[in-house]
């Protein structure tokens, strides 16, 4: 992916303003790899960049799982809804926005 994203690499010097995981990307990741994938995606974000994910929350990934993976990657929660149109959080679907903190340096140690 490094060759596709200018300024994005595993050093934490990401260059993207946003990474969007729409259409259940999160639930189709190989179980057990999700935290590593989120950490790598967080590393692609520029300071202040957003990770946005929407997924069916009634499968093997719960909304709290994504929240934990994002926190472990150093991302801060911004918003959470139960649908892409801003519905209240619910059991069947989750849309979450997390932000990379402003400032230089790696997202996570």
Dump pLDDT digits (tens) for 38-93.
999 999 999 999 999 999 988 889 999 999 999 999 999 999 999 999 998 887 99
**Is the model's pLDDT at 25 over the cut of 90?**
yes
Q: Give the model's pLDDT for residue 58.
A: 85
**Is the model's pLDDT at 18 over the cut of 80?**
yes
**Is the model's pLDDT at 10 over the cut of 90?**
no
**Is the model's pLDDT at 1 over the cut of 50?**
no
The CATH number of domain 16-99 is 3.40.50.10490: no
Please name which of 78, 23, 80, 75 lies closest in space to residue 54, comparing C-alpha atoms.
Answer: 23
Q: What is the pTM of this model?
A: 0.82
Contact of 14 with 39, CB cutoff 8 Å: no
């Amino acid at each position: 992916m490094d060759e596709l994203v200018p300024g994005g690499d595993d050093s934490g010097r990401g260059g993207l303003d946003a990474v969007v995981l729409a259409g259940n990307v999160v639930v189709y990741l190989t179980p057990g790899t999700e935290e590593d994938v989120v950490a790598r995606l967080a590393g692609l974000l520029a300071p202040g960049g957003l990770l946005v994910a929407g997924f069916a929350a009634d499968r093997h990934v719960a909304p709290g799982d994504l929240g934990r993976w994002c926190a472990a990657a150093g991302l801060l929660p911004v918003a959470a809804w139960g649908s892409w149109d801003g519905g209240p959080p619910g059991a069947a679907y989750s849309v979450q926005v997390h932000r990379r903190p402003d400032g230089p340096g790696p997202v996570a140690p």
